[in-house]
Amino acid sequence: MTALNDGWFTEVFQDQGTAFSLQVKKKLHEEQTPFQKLEIYETETFGNLMVLDGCVMLTTRDNFLYHEMMTHPALFTHRDPKKVVIVGGGDCGTLKEVLKHPGVEEAWQVEIDERVTRMSEKYFPELCEANSDPRANFFFGDGIQWMRDIEPNSVDLIIIDSTDPVGPAEGLFALDFYRDAMLALREGGIIVQQSESPLLHTDSIIKGIHEDMRKAGFEHVQTMPFPQPVYPTGWWSCTMASKENPIKYFREEDANNRPFVTRYYNSGVHHGALAMPQFMVDALEDEVRPEEG
Amino acid sequence: MTALNDGWFTEVFQDQGTAFSLQVKKKLHEEQTPFQKLEIYETETFGNLMVLDGCVMLTTRDNFLYHEMMTHPALFTHRDPKKVVIVGGGDCGTLKEVLKHPGVEEAWQVEIDERVTRMSEKYFPELCEANSDPRANFFFGDGIQWMRDIEPNSVDLIIIDSTDPVGPAEGLFALDFYRDAMLALREGGIIVQQSESPLLHTDSIIKGIHEDMRKAGFEHVQTMPFPQPVYPTGWWSCTMASKENPIKYFREEDANNRPFVTRYYNSGVHHGALAMPQFMVDALEDEVRPEEG
C-alpha cells in the first residue's frame, strides 16, 4: 500500500487517484468503537486531527469552514428556527454553531457513536464549548430510526452532518430518510446535508441528492460549495432544501447584525455560496440559474 | 525524504506540513530548462500534469478553475479591455481565456521560459488552441524588464500569471513591478495577480500585495478566492486592482451574454468571488466590506 514515511498521516483516495497527507507529531488516541476505528493525531500545522476508518474527519485548523457553512446559511434562510436536529455531527462543532443563534430554543445532536463525542470533548474542547448549554440535547443512537419515531411537524431545521454515503451513513443519503425528515419538519422547515465534492461528485452524488429531495417533497433544492482543505479536492458542499419557502430567501440584516463571531461566514459569503459554478448549473439543469434567483 | 511509493507524484509542502499526491501512469517528459526543472506526467485521473521545480503547476482536469478566474472577472470589470498583457502564463491557458473576449484586439504573453510553452503545446494542446489567433503575441524573456520598457499608457489589463513568489517570480510580487505596471496602464486599467492560498497566505503574502499595490497607486484592491484542488489547501486566490474605477464595477449583462463557454465562471460566481471570507475581511481591514460594496 502506498504511504508516506513515518511522521505523516496519509489518506489515499484510491478511486480518485489522489492522496492528502498531514505531518504528524504523534498519535494521541486509537480505538475500535462499536461502529468504526477512531484515531486522533497531533499534527505539525493543523492542530489535532480526527480520523474515522482511515478517513480524515476534521482538524482544529480548518473545521470552521465546514461547521459554519453547515449551519449559518440554513439558520439565516429559515425565518425563525426554534428547534434544530443534527443527525451525526458527533464532534459537536455543528451544535456549537447552531447554539450561537439566540433564537434557537432546542437543539438535538443525534449521533450513532458516542465515542466520537467523548473524544471530541477531550481533543477538540473548543468545539464542545456549547455542550453544557441548557438548550443542547444529546441522543446516542441510530439517526434513521430516530427520524422515523420523531413527532411529525415538530422540527424547524434538520442538519445531516454525516460521513460519506457508504457504510453507516448510507441510509442518510436516501429517499426514505428524506421522506421521514419531511414529515418531521414544521411549515417552513429546512433540511441541509453535507454533499461531498463539487468537482468529484456533482454527477455521482449531488445530482441524486437533488432528485431524492425533490421526490420527498422538497420543492427548492440548492447546493452551496465551500472550501475544505482536508477533504478530497479541498472543495466541498452542502445541499439545502425547503418545504415551501424559496431557498434563496435570506435574513440578510440578521446575518449582518449577528451577535456572534464567525471566521468564514458573512452575508457576502452567503450570497456567494448560492452561486453555483457553471458546470454544476449545467449538470443540475432543473435548478434556477443563480443570475435568475 | 518523504514520498509515496512508485506510481505516485507527491508534492510535499514542508513549511505547511501537508502533502498532495496524484497517481501517475508514467512520466512523459523531463528536462532542465535554462530556468527550471520541467516535468510532465500522465496521471490516472487528472489528465496530464505539469511540474516545475517539483511544484504542481497544472493538470488537464482542473486548470479551468484557475484560468477562468485569472481572466474573466478582470475582463468583465474593465469597461472595454482592448490590449491585454499576460506576464508568465507560459502554458497558454490564460491567453486562451483572454482571447475568448471578442473586444480584445491584442494580447501579449510575456513568459521567461519558452520551453514551458513548447511543452504545453505538446501535452496541453487544448490550452494552446488560441495560439494561432492573429491577436496573440508572444515574447519569451524577462517580464520585469519588459514592463520597464513598455510604452506608458498603452495597456488595459495586466495579468500576472506567475509561479510562487520565490525564485524567478519574486520580482513580480514587488512594489517596483507594480509601479511599472501602473505606468504601463491606460486610464481605467486593471492589474490582476495570482495571490496564493487564503488559508495559508492572507497574512504572509496577500496583505503585502494589497499594501504594495496601494503604494503603487492602485486605489481599489480586491482579493477573489476560488477553488484549485491541486494547489496547497485546494483553495487559491487572485488579487485585482484598478487605477481609478471601483473594482466592484461589473459588466454583468455582458457576462450573462458572453459568447463563449465557461465551466466555472458565471455572473453569480463573479459576485461570489467578490465576497471575501470574514477572516480575510478582518485581516485586510482597510478593504471595503463585501456587504457595503
Digit-coded pLDDT (tens) for A250-291: 999 999 999 999 999 999 999 999 999 999 999 997 544 444
The verdict on B269 touching A (C-beta cutoff 8 Å) is: yes
Residues in A closer than 8 angstroms to B267, CB to CB, are: 290-291
Name which residue leads in pLDDT, B37 or B3: B37
> Across the interface, do A275 and B279 touch by the CB < 8 Å criterion?
no
- pLDDT score for A293: 39
Q: H or E element: which one contains A214?
A: helix A207-215
Angle at B198 between CA A6 and CA B284, to 5 degrees: 140
Task: Name the residue facing B264 among A234, A256, A279 (closest C-beta).
Answer: A279
What span, in angstroms and rounded, lies between the C-alpha atoms of B214 and B179? 10
A-facing residues of B in 92-111 (CB < 8 A) are none
Average pLDDT score over chain B? 93
- pLDDT score for A244: 80
> Across the interface, do B8 and A2 touch by the CB < 8 Å criterion?
yes
Residue type, A184: A
The verdict on A154 touching B (C-beta cutoff 8 Å) is: no
pLDDT confidence band for A246 (50 / 70 / 90): confident
- pLDDT score for A292: 41
Burial class (CB in 10 A: 0-12, 13-18, 19+), A282: middle
- pLDDT score for B245: 72
Nine-digit cell string for B207: 496583505
The verdict on B34 touching A (C-beta cutoff 8 Å) is: no
Q: Is B161 a catalytic residue?
A: yes
Residues whose CB is less than 8 angstroms from the CB of residue A56 and which lie 6 or more positions away in sequence, other chains included: A9, A11, A20, A22, A49, A50, A230, A231
pLDDT confidence band for B31 (50 / 70 / 90): very high
For residue range B145-183, list pLDDT tens digits in order. Answer: 999 999 999 999 999 999 888 777 888 888 999 999 999
Percentage of chain A beyond pLDDT 90 is: 87
Residues in B closer than 8 angstroms to A61, CB to CB, are: 199
Nearest residue in B to A256, CA atom: B291
- pLDDT score for B170: 85
pLDDT confidence band for A247 (50 / 70 / 90): confident
Name which residue leads in pLDDT, B256 or B15: B256
* Residue range B195-200: mean pLDDT, rounded: 96
For residue range B7-27, list pLDDT tens digits in order. Answer: 999 999 989 999 999 999 999
Residues whose CB is less than 8 angstroms from the CB of residue B75 and which lie 6 or more positions away in sequence, other chains included: B81, B84, B98, B101, B104, B157
* Residue range A77-105: mean pLDDT, rounded: 98
Q: Assess whether pLDDT exceeds 60 at residue B97.
A: yes
Residue A168 Cα, gap to closest chain B Cα (Å): 28
CA nearest to B228, candidates B169, B258, B273, B284: B273
Task: Name the residue facing A271 among B199, B227, B271 (closest C-beta).
Answer: B271
Residue type, A151: E
Question: Pairing between strand A83-88 and A155-161?
Answer: parallel
* Residue range B233-242: mean pLDDT, rounded: 97
List, in sequence order, every residue forming a beta bridge with B192; answer none if it has no partner.
Answer: B159, B240
Average pLDDT score over chain A? 93
Q: Assess whether pLDDT exceeds 60 at residue B224.
A: yes
pLDDT confidence band for B74 (50 / 70 / 90): very high
- pLDDT score for A286: 59
Residues A175, A177, A180, A182: is their CA dihedral positive or negative?
negative
The verdict on A291 touching B (C-beta cutoff 8 Å) is: yes
The one-character DSSP state at A147 is H
Beta strands in A125-251 (DSSP E): 136-140, 155-161, 185-194, 220-227, 235-242
* Residue range A63-77: mean pLDDT, rounded: 98
Q: Assess whether pLDDT exceeds 70 at residue B1.
A: no
What span, in angstroms and rounded, lies between the C-alpha atoms of B122 and B7? 23
- pLDDT score for A172: 86
Q: 3-state SS of A262-275?
A: CCCCCHHHHHHHCC
Walk me through the domains of chain A, giving residue ranges and CATH numbers. Answer: 8-59 (2.30.140.10), 62-284 (3.40.50.150)
Residue B155 Cα, gap to closest chain A Cα (Å): 30
Please identify which residue in the block is written with the cell numbers 484598478: B242
